[in-house]
Chain A
C-alpha cells in the first residue's frame, strides 16, 4: 500500500463512502504456487478490511503465464481463499473475470461459467465481469458474457461442493487445452447491433451451443 492510496482512503473513510479495495494476486509470481498464493490472498483480503477499512474486497487471482482468472490453478486459489474467509467471517467478497478467449466464442462463455460456478459455490457475495480477451483488447467485451456469468451463478446456488467440483472439472477440461491458440472472438460492433443493441444471431447460436456443452458437463440453466 502506498501513500496516495492511504490518503485517498482517508478521504473516503472520513466522508463515509462505500470503499471497495481491489487486489489481484499473481499465481506463479512472488508468492509462488497455488497454496502460497492463497495464503497471501487470505492475508491481503483480511488486511484490506482490518487495516484499510474497506467495505468490500474485489479479488482476482491471475495466472502469471496466461493473464487470466479462469485457469484451474487460479480458480483453485480463488475458491480456497473465499471459503477460508467465508467460513470464518461475514466479510463481503467479490471476484473478477478475465477470460483468455474473446466474445462470441464458446470458450469465452465456458471460462466465464466455470468461474461463476466456483465463485458462487465458494460463498462469494459479488461477481464482477467480464473482461474478455484478457481485458486488453479494445471493444472485445459484451454483455452476453455477463449474462452467462449471472445465469451460471444462479444455477450454482445451493448445489453441493463435490457436485460443483465435478462439473467445473469437466468444463475446465473442455477449454484448458486451447490456451496456446484461444479463439480471439469478435468485437462488440461485430456481434451486437449497435442501434437497437441486441446480440447478433451468431452470438445467440454460440450462446446456445455453450449451454449445450454446459448441460453435457452436468449443469442446466
Chain B
C-alpha cells in the first residue's frame, strides 16, 4: 500500500510508543538470531570465501533480505521496551529523503561526499583522526594537527580526552562536558595550525 509519508523521527517515536511490548532478552537472544537465520535461508545468502561479492544477484538478494529483516523484525527501544514496525513502501520513501551528496567543511577546505555507485574512479572522503581512541591532554592538539596536515586526509575524526585540566573526564558528569568542549576547541586549533581552518570535524 503506498506510503502516506516518509517516517520522520517524530513518527518513529509514535511507533515506538504504540509498538509491541518486547523484553530485551527476548529481542537479543530469540528474535534477532531467529529472524536473521530465517532471512539467510529464505534468500539463500551464502558468501563463500571471497571478501568482495562478485555475484550481482547475491548482492541484490542481500539487499532484499535486509529490507525484509527490517519489516519482519522492526527496531527495539530499550527505554520503552517496545518494538516498532514499518512498511516496505515507507522504507523506500525514507530512502528517497536521504541526501545524495553532502558538503563537509567550509570555504576552500570543504570537500564533497557524493554517492559513488560502484568502485568508481572518484575516491571516497578520507576522514583521518584517532577515531575515538583516548589521547593525552598534553599532545591532543599536536595529534590532531598531524592528521590535518596530511594531504590525503579530507576531514577530521576526533580522539577522546581522558583528562581535562588534569581531571578525569568521567561520563555523565560536568567534567565530560568540559572535556568534550575542549576537544572541539583543540580540533579547531589543530586545523588552523595546519592551515586548513575550514576542515570538517
Contacts and interface: CB of A to CB of B under 8 A. Distances in A.
Real binding pair: yes
Contacts of B134: 136-139
Given A50-B90, A138-B136, A146 B9 contact: no
B180 interface: no
Nearest to A124: B124
B53 A83 contact: yes
A126 B94 contact: no
Contact of A139 (B80, B127, B143): B143
Interface string A8-37: 011001000010000000000011101111
A108 to B, nearest CB: 13
Main secondary structure of the interface of A (DSSP, over half): helix
B171 interface: no
A72 interface: yes
Given A53-B97, A118-B51, A40 B131 contact: no
Interface residues of A, number: 103
Interface of A: 1-4, 6, 9-10, 13, 18, 30-32, 34-47, 49-56, 72, 75-76, 79-81, 83-92, 94, 96-98, 118-133, 135-143, 146-147, 149-151, 153-154, 156-162, 164-165, 168-169, 172, 188-189, 192, 194, 197
Given A79-B51, A90-B100, 20 more contacts: A4-B79, A6-B9, A18-B104, A30-B32, A38-B62, A43-B69, A50-B92, A51-B9, A51-B75, A72-B51, A84-B60, A84-B66, A86-B116, A89-B95, A89-B98, A92-B101, A126-B127, A128-B131, A130-B128, A143-B128
Interface of B: 6-10, 12-13, 16, 28-29, 32-33, 36-37, 39-40, 45-47, 50-54, 56, 58-60, 62-63, 65-67, 69-70, 73, 75-80, 84, 86, 90-95, 97-102, 104, 113-136, 139, 142-143, 145-147, 149-150, 152-153, 157, 159, 162
